A and B are shown apart, each in its own frame.
Chain A
């Protein structure tokens, strides 16, 4: 079955270190999303790309976060420098937009980030 692949699954790092999370979307999907999930904030949309072009990153702290899609098979989310408040689960999801009937988002398994 086609699936979204995220690496790493878990990351523990110290405050101030750079963190890079990677996502391989499902082949053929034209849109990739980055979400952050915490107990307090639920699922927050950080950024998304359509056909590899960044369309909206207004949900992302610009000073330390950056998202790129160097090719159709790879999306990255970087945090530099990381802070303890960045601890969360980061999900990548892909889909084919605009959403037609029964088009859906496929989520990766997430990266659980702990910043000490």
Chain B
């Protein structure tokens, strides 16, 4: 079945340092979504990428979708303590059915002040 691998599992950074999490799929994706879960909270949608090679930015966050539509990354520039949380990618196969909306294992980000 489809698997979505996400690395690293944990990342500790000093405030002001950059952070990147990577998402890799065993199969080609129709689109990929990113979610953020604050400690004690629930996943909240950040963004969706659809096109091959697509790059989107939200302030200090940059999201990329690979040319082959099998991998994606989230990069945070100059992290802040408000960035703390777990970041999940979720990939969808071309059929778009929910069974193929597969979440990665998440990257837990800690930002040290």
Interface residues of A (CB under 8 A from B): 31, 33, 35, 42-43, 45, 48, 50, 55-56, 91, 93, 95, 97-99, 101-110
Q: Which residues of A contact B88 (CB under 8 A)?
A: 43
Main secondary structure of the interface of A (DSSP, over half): strand
Which of the residues A45, A95, A107 comes within 8 Å of B44, measured between beta carbons? Answer: A107
Let me know if B71 is at the binding interface, CB within 8 A.
no
Contact digits for B60-102, partner A, Cβ 8 Å, 1 yes 0 no: 0000000000000000000000000000101010011111011
Let me know if B31 is at the binding interface, CB within 8 A.
yes
> When the two chains form their complex, are residues B43 and A97 in contact, meaning their CB atoms are under 8 A apart?
no
> When the two chains form their complex, are residues B98 and A50 in contact, meaning their CB atoms are under 8 A apart?
yes
> When the two chains form their complex, are residues B103 and A104 in contact, meaning their CB atoms are under 8 A apart?
no
Interface size class of B (residues with CB under 8 A): 20 to 34
Main secondary structure of the interface of B (DSSP, over half): mixed
Q: What is the bound-complex CA distance between A47 and B98, given in angstroms?
A: 10
Q: Which residues of B contact A48 (CB under 8 A)?
A: 98-99
Q: Which residues of A contact B104 (CB under 8 A)?
A: 42
> When the two chains form their complex, are residues A56 and B99 in contact, meaning their CB atoms are under 8 A apart?
yes
Tell me the total A-B contact number using a CB cutoff of 8 A: 61
Q: Which residues of A contact B25 (CB under 8 A)?
A: none
Evaluate whether A107 and B43 lie within 8 angstroms (CB atoms) in the complex, with A50-B98, A56-B99, A98-B96 already known.
yes
Shortest distance from the beta carbon of B30 to any chain A beta carbon, whole Å: 8
Which of the residues A45, A56, A99, A108 comes within 8 Å of B31, measured between beta carbons? Answer: A99
Q: Which residues of B contact A107 (CB under 8 A)?
A: 42-44
Which of the residues B35, B42, B97, B102 comes within 8 Å of A97, measured between beta carbons? Answer: B97
> When the two chains form their complex, are residues B98 and A31 in contact, meaning their CB atoms are under 8 A apart?
yes
Shortest distance from the beta carbon of A46 to any chain B beta carbon, whole Å: 12
Q: What is the bound-complex CA distance between A56 and B35, given in angstroms?
A: 23
Q: Which of B27-70 contact A (CB under 8 A)?
A: 31, 33, 35, 41-45, 48, 50
